[in-house]
Amino acid sequence: MNEEAIVFGLHAVRTLLQQRPERASVLIVQKGREDARVSEVTKLAQAAGIKIEWRDARELDRLATGDRHQGVCIRMKSSDVLGEGALDELLDRASSPPLLLVLDGVQDPHNLGACLRTADAAGVTAVIVPRDRAAGLSPTVRKVASGAAETVPLIQVVNLARTLRWLKERDVWIVGTDDQAPKSLFQTSLTGPLAVVLGAEGPGLRRLTKEHCDALISIPMRGVVESLNVSVATGVVLYEALRQRG
């Protein structure tokens, strides 16, 4: 299950109020915070008709689960996580060949948030994650994503292998990353309808996930480290895909 739908941090809160103010229920501001950036956020909330409450720092610390809230939090009306049914609609609406990011078992909320931020920058159609044994759309994820959690659809699926099979039926090419793959991402076509699949740092892709990929690719490593953090690897692969797609 996801944590309470809370957005905190100045950048994430400002992005939500600019992009999707209808999702905000209450803006909570720390008492005594009257600097220019907080003032900008409160003006955005007032313009959108959103209720503003002033609370002491301890209340915001609790809402942000001890993370750095920068004096502002927003309670959401409901979660932004989408179900499997939304994926079909997103593919139908896509005006260009879809680019999907699939994360297999990424449990660190900081990594998921960073992946969402990169996905937004690369114009990803949607990010797909398993419902179980994976990070969900928590307040920490939203904070790290710096507003991308409000712009990139996050879809939780019950059975990732089944979803990959369904994507193939929709003519989406499935490319997974694997340190041992003989072919590198620079030797692989990443154009057309594409789903890029990355695994958790350490174990990588699960066996069943690999079996449902049309191709496996590696990221060239020239130094002594054996692998990259999943959020860094996501950026490398997505931007190579972006380069190829023109």
Structural domains in the chain?
A: 6-76 (3.30.1330.30), 85-245 (3.40.1280.10)
List the pLDDT tens digit at each of the 246 positions of the chain.
344 578 888 988 888 888 878 878 899 999 988 889 999 999 999 999 999 999 999 988 888 877 788 899 988 865 567 777 888 888 988 889 999 999 999 999 999 999 999 999 999 999 999 988 888 888 788 888 887 887 899 999 999 999 999 999 999 999 999 988 999 999 999 999 999 999 987 778 999 999 999 999 999 998 888 888 999 999 999 999 999 998
Structure tokens at 34: 């009257």
Q: What is the pLDDT of residues 94-150, one digit of tens each?
A: 889 999 999 999 999 999 999 999 999 999 999 999 988 888 888 788 888 887 887
Cα–Cα distance for residue pair 88/216, rounded to 1 Å: 25
Question: Could you tell me which residues are beta bridge partners of residue 30?
Answer: 55
Contact 94, 35 (CB under 8 A): no
Q: Is 235 left (phi over 0), alpha (psi -120 to 50) or beta?
A: alpha
189 burial class (0-12, 13-18, 19+ CB within 10 angstroms)?
exposed
C-alpha closest to that of 123 among 194, 69, 184: 194
